With several copies, the nearest count.
Chain A
């Protein structure tokens, strides 16, 4: 049905003559534009979630879509996440391509069973006969000064569940394309959105809707360097890029890789980089224990055993629940903690 998303072909065309093909967008607006494009391209694409209709979602990512596509394509669902995901599975079996919004990552857990028992496994269970092209959009991460359950980073849990694809974007161009590619993908995709960057003016970037996007399931080197490699995803990518700029001023050249696909991982670019730099710092807001950064360290120490001049170091959230937000500056990896780790790696 859908063209392989790993192809480099653009997945949408500009839909009217009058609309500019290049616009400066925030990540939030780029996601909105991407969702709109996906809905225009395929009328089986529907949005589901709490408050995604009139309100446009609490972050306004689905703003205007119900107005333009109607209540049957943008569903304000009852308040229950297992219901959202469980019915999305059924809709997908019927031939729809549901895009579910989970209001905040902390509320994905009531839907965990449907995700792990049905969404992740139906394709394998049926030897590919039943496809469940459901996208679950999850605003995640901290730094927004919120109350409990609104700042977590549970992506590692999903990366441990076979059958799911987990991705995260860190900039408007990726946001625009990756969401469309995820929707076209026949596999279930957990799409982690860096919520504190949604409306960041600083990250606003020109999005060319006629461009050729990178493939969805590939990592990308976003800054080249020689002294050490820093790998991150989602909201940590801008932090690492800032750290790299700061390090450059101090005369140290950092390579920064944006993972983009969190499961399955695409670590080839990381291996290749570490073979050159000999040092790796993996950064994530998530707790470290049994996480994606653990996996990166485990695989890199194996693949690059003789290249590593220091152990893979991790800069992550601590192994505590997410703290009251007045303490989040301590919890979240920031420029200083990244540079501190770089220092340690270089001094090893």
Chain B
């Protein structure tokens, strides 16, 4: 954990920065091997085999993590995955217009989401159902977007969870502004209510100008912002090497803030590293970039056909790194949970999904008036006239009248 002093007092012994600015060939290579884990670069605390690796740097962020916490994280991930699968199925049944699956990214989302304090703010992209869940957003509240009955509908300020953002990269600047606001309001520092912001985006998003500008702004204003990039290896059909030569976390090097790659399928590592990053930000050492190295196990969305662009081998290899399985194995081996517990969670997940399903099937269509509401915060006579005219016209049909 670095302190503000460490950031602002020069130390001796650094080599020529000009040399540092020339990446080594292996750094270049690393970027080209988009589907390799990155070896030593990767922060991992729980191996795919469920083995707990010690980490002097990050273990201090997990001192409160006992078997109960682990069971909680396991449960979170199982529930979120089950809900995700249910939504995927409901899309196939025509109940949702589209679904954006998070399958495979449960650890990245639950781990980072659980690292947040209530006072922290989160800016999601459109796949962060797991983060939404950790922020206390009811899964049913997400459905409207995908059933096309609304455009985002939860208590944004209450949950401190911003609306989903579909235009790639936009939310990164919005989050930078929000975090600047936290700073300007004096919410950064050693006080217990100190705040930070986290912002989610994908590997593809890193190419967008807005993401760069978010990096520039956050760095220049020392904004308490954690950039959380879920590198799920694909931007629809494009692998990460279409976006970058170097591993994405290294992008931070050019801006002067830390970048780190974490095993995105390791919920403990995601929790610890995000806690560290948030803490850095809260204390005024932000921003920080986290690249969560993970994999999109399903299609980009339910309208996508990944067989056109990637091999099933890849999927098989990643199955072995499943984020839930490794926690299950670890809990079993360490005696943190037994089969009964797992069965219970599964049953709860099934109930969770069934409720979601019932809710979804019963969702009403919005009334036509909704079309005209909330365009502005104050009324607009022009729009009022359009509404009146349309509703009168529409009523004509309802009354069985002529068009």
A and B touch in the complex (CB under 8 A): yes
| Residues in B whose Cβ lies below 8 Å from that of A78 | 204, 207, 213, 216-217, 220, 242-243
Total interface residues in chain B, CB < 8 Å: 83
Residues in A whose Cβ lies below 8 Å from that of B165:
118
* Complex-state Cα separation, A4 to B375, whole angstroms: 16
Could you list 13 A-B pairs, sorted by A, with CB under 8 Å? A58-B236, A78-B243, A79-B168, A80-B213, A90-B178, A95-B181, A118-B174, A124-B375, A125-B151, A147-B166, A148-B166, A185-B377, A217-B380
Interface check B283, CB cutoff 8 A:
no
In the complex the two chains form, is B98's CB within 8 Å of A90's CB? no
- Asked if A51 CB lies within 8 Å of chain B CBs, one says yes
Contacts of B182 in A (CB 8 A): 94
Check B173–A90 contact: CB distance below 8 A: yes
A331–B214 CB distance below 8 A? no
CB distance from B204 to the nearest CB of A (A): 4
How close is A202's CB to chain B, nearest CB, in angstroms?
Answer: 21
Q: How far is the CA of A114 from the CA of B176 in the complex (A)?
A: 13
- B174 touching A83 by the CB < 8 A rule? no
* Residues in B neighbouring A121, C-beta threshold 8 A: 151
Q: Are B309 and A54 in contact (CB under 8 A)?
A: yes
**Lowest 6 A-B CB distances belong to which pairs?**
A90-B177, A86-B173, A94-B181, A87-B177, A325-B148, A83-B213
Per a CB cutoff under 8 Å, which of B210, B372, B376, B403 touches A110?
B210
In contact, A145 and B97 (Cβ under 8 angstroms): yes
Q: Provided the pairs A113-B170, A114-B210, A320-B371 are in contact, do residues A96 and B148 lie with their beta carbons within 8 angstroms?
A: no
The interface centre, meaning the residue of A76, A78, A106, A131 with most chain B CB atoms within 10 A of its CB, is: A78
**Within 8 Å of chain A (Cβ to Cβ): is B238?**
yes
Question: A163 and B375: CB pair below 8 A?
Answer: yes
Contact between B167 and A113 (Cβ–Cβ < 8 Å)? yes
- Asked whether, in the complex, the Cβ of A122 is within 8 Å of the Cβ of B390, the reply is no
> A129 touching B156 by the CB < 8 A rule?
yes
Q: What 0/1 pattern do residues 238 to 252 of B give for CB contact below 8 A with A?
A: 100011000000000
A248 part of interface (Cβ distance < 8 Å)? no
Residue from A93, A118, A121, A321 whose CB has the most chain B CB atoms within 10 Å? A93
Within 8 A of B (CB), among A57-116: 58, 72, 76-80, 82-83, 85-96, 98, 106-107, 109-110, 113-114
A323 to B390: give the CA distance in the assembly, Å: 15
Neighbouring A residues of B162 by C-beta, 8 Å = 93, 130
Contact A323-B235, Cβ < 8 Å, known A86-B214, A90-B180: no
| Nearest residue, chain A, Cβ from B209 | A82
Q: Which of A90, A217, A268 has the most CB atoms of chain B within a 10 A radius of its CB?
A: A90
Contact B371 A327 (CB under 8 A): yes
B3 on the A face (CB < 8 A): no
The answer to whether A83 and B207 have CB atoms under 8 Å apart is yes
Q: Which of B371-388 contact A (CB under 8 A)?
A: 371-378, 380-383, 386-387
B139 beta carbon closer than 8 Å to chain A: no
Q: Using an 8 Å CB-CB cutoff, how does the interface string of B154-177 with A read, 1 for contact, 0 for none?
A: 011100001101111110111111
Residues of B within 8 A of A87 (CB): 173-174, 176-177, 180, 217
- A113-B167, A327-B371 as given contacts; A148 in contact with B177, CB under 8 Å: no
CA–CA, A129 and B374, complex, Å: 9
Contact with A along B289-315 (1 / 0, CB 8 A): 000000000000001110011000000
Kindly specify which of B33-41, B44-52, B362-370 makes contact with the partner chain: B362-370
B150 at the interface (CB under 8 A from A): yes
B393 adjacent to A340 (CB under 8 Å): yes
Q: Collect the chain B residues with CB atoms within 8 Å of residue A82's CB.
A: 173, 209-210, 213
Set of chain B residues within 8 Å of A5, measured between Cβ atoms: 378
The smallest C-beta distance from B247 to any residue of chain A, in angstroms, reads: 16
A80 touches B383 (CB 8 A): no
CB neighbours (8 Å) of B381 from chain A are: 264, 266, 268
Bound-state CA distance A91–B393 (Å) is: 41
**A276 on the B face (CB < 8 A):** no
B contact residues around A264 at 8 Å (CB): 376, 380-383
* Residue A15 at the chain B interface, CB threshold 8 Å: no
- Chain B 206-241, CB-CB to A under 8 Å as 1, else 0, gives 011110011011001000000000000001111000
Cβ of B341 within 8 Å of any chain A Cβ, yes or no, is no
CB atoms of A318 and B390 under 8 A apart:
yes
- Across the two chains, which residue of chain A brings its CB closest to B173? A86
Q: Is the CB of B213 within 8 A of A146?
A: no
Residues of B contacting A272 in the complex (Cβ-Cβ under 8 angstroms) = none
Residues on A lying within 8 angstroms of B by beta carbon are 4-6, 46, 50-51, 53-56, 58, 72, 76-80, 82-83, 85-96, 98, 106-107, 109-110, 113-114, 117-118, 121-131, 145-149, 162-163, 165, 185-187, 217, 264-266, 268, 318-321, 323-327, 330-331, 336-337, 339-340, 343
Which residues of the other chain, B, contact A72 by a CB distance below 8 angstroms?
184
| In the bound complex, CA of A327 to CA of B371 (Å) | 7
Query: Given A126-B156, A264-B383 in contact, is the A324-B366 Cβ separation under 8 Å?
Result: yes
Residues of chain A within 8 A of B387, CB atoms compared: 318
Q: Which residues of A contact B378 (CB under 8 A)?
A: 4-6, 185-187, 217
**Contact in complex: A127, B170 (CB < 8 Å):** no
Cβ contact of B173, chosen from A55, A83, A92, A331, cutoff 8 A: A83
Q: Give the chain B neighbours of A320 by CB distance below 8 A.
A: 371-372, 375, 383
Whether A326 pairs with B365 at a CB distance below 8 angstroms is yes
Across-interface contacts of A4 in B (CB, < 8 A): 378
Inter-chain contacts of B97 with A (CB < 8 A): 145-147, 325
Query: Nearest CB to that of A330 among chain B residues?
Result: B368
Query: B205 an interface residue at 8 Å Cβ cutoff?
Result: yes
Bound-complex Cα distance A124 to B169 (A): 20
If A264-B382, A318-B390 touch, whether A79 touches B205 (CB-CB below 8 Å) is yes
Indicate whether B360 reaches chain A with its CB closer than 8 angstroms.
no
Check A318–B371 contact: CB distance below 8 A.
Answer: yes
Q: Check if A148 sits within 8 Å of B151, measured CB to CB.
A: yes
B95 close to chain A: CB less than 8 A: no
| Known contacts A86-B214, A87-B217: A80-B207 contact under CB 8 Å | yes
The residue on A at minimum CB distance from B158 is A129
A85: chain B residues within 8 A (beta carbon): 173
Report chain A residues within 8 Å CB of B373: 127-128
Asked if B42 is an interface residue, CB under 8 A from chain A, the answer is no
Residues of the B chain whose Cβ atoms lie less than 8 Å from the Cβ of A343: 403
Chain B positions within 8 Å of A76 at CB level: 237-238, 242
> How far is B245's CA from A168's CA once the two chains are assembled, in angstroms?
38
With A127-B150, A320-B372, A324-B366 known as contacts, the answer to whether A56 contacts B243 (CB < 8 A) is no
CB distance from A297 to the nearest CB of B (A): 16
In Å, the complex CA distance between A318 and B165 comes to 23
Candidate in B150, B173, B243 with the most chain A CB atoms within 10 angstroms: B173
Which of chain A's residues have a CB closer than 8 A to the CB of B180? 87, 90-91
Min distance, Cβ B131 to any Cβ of chain A, angstroms = 17
